[in-house]
Each structure stands twice: as structure tokens, then as C-alpha cells.
Amino acid sequence: MADKIGDHLLVAGRTDVGCVRPLNEDSFYIDLTTGLLILADGMGGHDAGEVASAYVVESVSRSVRQFMDSSDEEGQEKAALVQSNDGHPDATLIQDPQEQPTLDDLPNPVLKILREAVALANENLNRINRERGHPDESGMGSTVVGLWAPRFSAYPIIFHVGDSRLYMFQQGQLIQATRDHSLYQQWVSFGGKGVPPPQNILLQAIGPSRLVTPDVRFLSVSHGDTVLLCSDGLTGMVSDEQIREALATVSPGTLDAVCDHLITLAKNGGGKDNVTVILGHFL
């Protein structure tokens, strides 16, 4: 059954092992108290991907909870005052993820909290990898994608590392609000000339490298908008048009059913990977 965060966000989530893999390396968490939705996909082919994804979800969630618990109401309100240079997120941000401002252009403390939370999770996983004797760019790892809708902020914040995605369904249109940190996406961004690289080679992930640079920004949302957080077990098996058609049926009473439908679409498409979805519907 869908849960409610504050007065304006209904949420539901599902995960499934799929049709091929013996183990589910995806993890997700919906924190009704802090307003955090987070999903992580353990890196297949690496050591303990399921451990990495669970740790990332737990670590980032813990950092957000610690901020909420340690900050008084006045401090939280101050953290939300600067949301961009003119006081609100640029509406074009959700239209073209390739033309986003840099993190330096968005100096809000709330964004800093999430950047530091992701950096801490990466630092700890990377240390474990090194202690186990793994060289750089190896060992256990995970993607992460999340949306944080704290009660004191007029706009939710989205963040990600890797190729787990966040989509927005707004006024009948499906918008990919995150851009994959992958070699294939880099190839597309530079014009797509020559032979395309494999789509599963990541340029960033949590754990294998000492440093990671998450994309973090505010997202402008309105009444009736829907967000979808998902692992590549969905996007690798289901077309954007199928996703758009599914999200077009979202209403306050259908979130759970649409989650189940998206999982079914991925399994019917081959289910070659674990598949995880989180839906959020803004009231």
C-alpha cells in the first residue's frame, strides 16, 4: 500500500530478482520521516554487489537522518533559503539534463548535505575494497539514485551516481531527469560517432574509486507530477514509451498497481537483471 510523506507526496516501491540472476543485488528504502527515497544497484560481476547496494542505502539514509535529528527547525529553514541564484530551481533543469548548472552554481547547504552523504558512503566502501586487497576501480560497488523531499524545502532534491535513473512524468511527457554516468552516455553526448561502446560500462560508481562526484540538484515539481526511480533492470528491458504509458495511469489509488506493472513489463521483456522501482506522486 502506498505511503504518504508530508501532505504532498505519495510513495510506493518494489524490487524483484528478475528471471535470470540468482541473487537480488538491488536495494531501496523509503524513509517517511525524512522524506528520502533512495535506490541502489550493486555492480554485477564485482564482489558482494548486494552488500554494496545495501550499505549505500543505509549509509546515505543515516546521514540524512542525522542531519534532521541534529538540526533545529531554524537551522533547517536556513538550509532551504537559497535554492538557486533567484530563489527557485530553474524550470529548464528538468527539460535538458545536459545543460544543468555546476554544483558551484548551487551553493545551498541542503545540496552539500547530500554530496557529503554520498562521499562518505563511497569513502567507506572504497576503504573496505582496499583493505581486501582490491586495486583502484575494482571491488564491490553500487550505483545510487535518490530524491529527498524534506518538509522545510519548497522543492525536492535529486541525486545520483551511475546509471540508475530518475524519470519525471509531467503534463503527459516523460522526462529523464538524470544523465547516466556511463561510457555509452558519454559517447552519445559527444555526437555518437563510430562504434557505440557497451551500455553497461560505468564512469562513476560508489566504492571502486577513492573519489566520486554525484549529480545533485533541485527539481521543480507541481501538483499531479510523478517521479520514477529505477535500476537499469527496468530501463534495459522496457522502452521509454512503455514507461510513459505506465506512468500515465498513475493516480493516488494506483501507485502500487503501477509498480507491479513496471516489474511485470521488465520480466516479460526478459528479466535479465534485478529490477527495482520507486514511484512518487505529488498531490
The confidence band for 254, taking pLDDT boundaries of 50, 70 and 90, is: very high
pTM of the entire structure?
Answer: 0.88
What pLDDT sits at residue 120? 98
For 47-101, the pLDDT digits (tens) are 589 999 999 999 999 999 999 998 766 556 556 554 444 344 543 343 344 455 5
User: Beta-carbon neighbour count of residue 135 at 10 Å?
Assistant: 9
The confidence band for 257, taking pLDDT boundaries of 50, 70 and 90, is: very high
**φ, ψ of residue 9 in degrees (nearest 5):** -140, 120
Average pLDDT, the chain: 89
Domain count, the chain: 1
**Roughly what angle, to the nearest 10 degrees, separates helices 109-131 and 49-70?**
140
Task: State which residues form the domain around 61.
Answer: 3-282
What's the rounded Cα separation, in Å, for the pair 87 and 89? Answer: 7
* Residue 269: CATH number of its domain: 3.60.40.10
Q: Which residue, among 156, 277, 151, has the nearest Cα to 221 in the 3D structure?
A: 156
